[in-house]
Chains A and B, each alone.
Chain A
Amino acid sequence: MTIHEHDVVVVGAGGAGLRAAIAAEEEGADVAMVTKLHPVRSHTGAAEGGINAALRDGDDWELHAYDTMKGSDYLGDAPAIETLAQDAPEEVIQLEHWGMPFSREDDGRVSQRPFGGLSFPRTTYAGAETGHHLLHTMYEQAVKRGIRVYDEFYVSQLAVTDHDDPEDRECHGCVAYDIKSGDVVGFRARNGVVLATGGDGQVFEHTTNAVANTGDGPAMAYRAGVPVEDMEFVQFHPTTLPSTGVLISEGVRGEGGILYNSEGERFMFEGGYANNAGELASRDVVSRAELTEVNEGRGINDEYVYLDMRHLGEERINDRLENIIHLAEDFEGVNPIDEPMPVKPGQHYHMGGIETNENGETCVSGLYAAGECACASVHGSNRLGGNALPELIVFGARAGHHAAGRDLGTAEVDTGPSARTETEDGLDTPVEPGALDTPDSDVAADGALVEPVELVERAVERERARIEDMLERDGTNHAEIREDLQETMTENVNVFRREADLKKALEVIRECRERYQGVAVSDPSRTFNTDLIHTIETGNLIDIAETITLGALAREEFRGAHWRQEHQERKDGEWLKHTMISWNDGSPELYYKPVVLEGENKEYEPKVRSY
């Protein structure tokens, strides 16, 4: 049995993972990145717009924090938000010092542009491919430092002790499947494991996220006892191409692009969705309008609406929106100079995730999380554009430093079930959520007594047996289950959420879970068995889908990205709290913890979020 030993093991090598690894290395730790994709293939590379940081005179971190808090609809935790705003400038300058090719002003300084919800143009960018440059620049720095990368290693389990209370548990490493050779190997982390596995958009049928964004990190952490936070908050983007989910930026509407339905109506105005702003209304408003049109039979092919920019003229389109022409042609086969582009809302970003404090720590000691998979709670119920990339580097760095032993002071955000102030017991679910036969979890049964290495070995053995079993038996193909799961999520837990739909989704998720018990991998090969990988991922998607739906069902208000038909207003009196779900060894438990609005210098007052 192969067990690789390192001080810090970082799972995932996107923006967050790379930053964490570099930070741990800076701190003198022996660090390794374990990632299912080669680092440069991570989805951070898809980010276009930019990265927010208060760099200039006239701007300061407090303004950034204020904007972020307001954008979060007062569901973000002030200590985390302030940390983000305070650390971002230094981190962005650091990126520049590492050579990141930011766009430049005439005086040679990095360019910044205005972005939605920001009181100052602080979105620093590198062309229309900020994420690509950020990812590559950091990978280059990892190469420079000789950081060990285990690429195409799929991490499928964490090695966590099985104390009853998750807050007593310790993480000593993880188990990974070497995709190329088919070996199951262990990673023993002497100081800590950092999860940085990115988004989970594959829960939905239609997403701007990569095929590899399957929420493995949150699912693994969740099953090992770490609570997941605010899972109901999923951001949808109104203009994505129907066949692939490729994002068409707001720029098109900004330049004057119009949306119309199958009857040729400019519905944003004619349908009364946004009489003033029209197409320029916010992401969630436009998304809902589009779906309403489609649901009421005015969609094209019952699926999408048209985004038209032909009237802007070929010249202007070529000049300002050239990359859009390429996107539409390459990925949808449509030339937007001659035809309108089909668009529909797509999942874009998950605000919720693994509960952490502002140092990236989870309640399990030795287990950290950073990036989109985590929820330190900076985005609350809605993420501002350009706020995810700074999150990656700020919290990636903090998690890496902390894991490698740097003292970052005591965190102000509480984690773990002990932070609970209220338990949800009245949630009326049509089926029992959680494992089919309790108890079940991903913690190694060890009576919490064994040596760390042995704990990792046990986890490896367990995983081997599970994989062996999936490879050998006959049964259902995961793709069918995944398809049904994505379909139900898209139909019932999408932009619109109604109680009955959410319940229906829970039933289907339950069914999926049952079918998943009999899942089998039909490719018998040990070499690059992607069938097996996707099968394991589908298992994770089921857990993630369930938490999203449970959270959505519990939260009876309309806040940020979460819209409930029965509850059309923000209820600050009752709902200024985070929705927490703990796996609880197979019988999930829903509870709440309060939002921290107390900042370093001031208390944030919930205000009506109108701009």
Chain B
Amino acid sequence: MSQSYDRGLIEDFGRWKEFSAGMWAWIFHKFTGWVLIGYLFTHVAVLSSATVSGEVYTQTLQSLESLLVVRVLEVGLLAVAAFHILNGIRLLFVDLGIGLEAQDKAFYAAMVATGVITIASIPTFLGGI
């Protein structure tokens, strides 16, 4: 008689500490991808105010932009987009079979560059309050 034991997926995620660069890249890319598509839907929804009238559009945008939360969230969005783009480029290289040996370094580079871009853009994004 035999019967086997399935440890399930949950356990996997308990192992995050043991993930390697490629797996982190995968998770982050997935996460940022979802955020971006989510944002695209919201973005179009917000912009839809333009179909009502020019004034409503201007007002909606400006009142949103005057909120600190929105600006902070925008920094987040930039970070997310920057990572997705940079890692996206890394993935495109991987798809082309270029520099596979350095894929982990490319991931770290993408992380660092994302950080730098994000910090550098904070003044522009949060400025003018």
Which residues of the partner chain B approach A181 to less than 8 Å between Cβ atoms?
A: 1-2
CA distance A43 to B61 in the complex (A): 72
- Contact-size category for B: under 10
Least Cβ–Cβ distance between B120 and chain A, in angstroms:
45
Which residues of the partner chain A approach B2 to less than 8 Å between Cβ atoms?
A: 180-182, 526-528
Least Cβ–Cβ distance between B10 and chain A, in angstroms:
25
Interface code B1-42, partner A: CB below 8 Å = 1, 0 otherwise? 110000000000000000000000000000000000000000
CA distance A182 to B2 in the complex (A): 8
Which residues of the partner chain A approach B1 to less than 8 Å between Cβ atoms?
A: 181-182, 526-527
Interface code A260-272, partner B: CB below 8 Å = 1, 0 otherwise? 0000000000000
Within 8 A of B (CB), among A526-551: 526-528
CA distance A181 to B2 in the complex (A): 6
Interface residue count for A (Cβ, 8 Å)?
A: 6
CA distance A526 to B3 in the complex (A): 11
Least Cβ–Cβ distance between A181 and chain B, in angstroms:
5
- CB-based nearest B residue for A527: B2
- CB-based nearest A residue for B4: A527
- CB-based nearest A residue for B3: A527
CA distance A362 to B33 in the complex (A): 68
CA distance A526 to B1 in the complex (A): 7
CA distance A180 to B1 in the complex (A): 8
- CB-based nearest B residue for A528: B2
- CB-based nearest B residue for A526: B1
CA distance A181 to B4 in the complex (A): 11
Which residues of the partner chain B approach A182 to less than 8 Å between Cβ atoms?
A: 1-2
Within 8 A of A (CB), among B76-118: none
Least Cβ–Cβ distance between A292 and chain B, in angstroms:
49
CA distance A180 to B2 in the complex (A): 7
Interface code A145-189, partner B: CB below 8 Å = 1, 0 otherwise? 000000000000000000000000000000000001110000000
Least Cβ–Cβ distance between A183 and chain B, in angstroms:
9
Which residues of the partner chain B approach A528 to less than 8 Å between Cβ atoms?
A: 2
- CB-based nearest B residue for A178: B2
Least Cβ–Cβ distance between A526 and chain B, in angstroms:
6
Least Cβ–Cβ distance between B6 and chain A, in angstroms:
15
CA distance A182 to B1 in the complex (A): 7
A interface residue numbers (CB < 8 A to B): 180-182, 526-528
Given contact pairs A181-B1, A526-B1, A526-B2, enumerate 7 new A-B contacts (beta carbons under 8 Å). A180-B2, A181-B2, A182-B1, A182-B2, A527-B1, A527-B2, A528-B2
Could you show 7 A-B contacts with beta carbons less than 8 Å apart? A181-B1, A181-B2, A182-B1, A182-B2, A526-B2, A527-B1, A527-B2
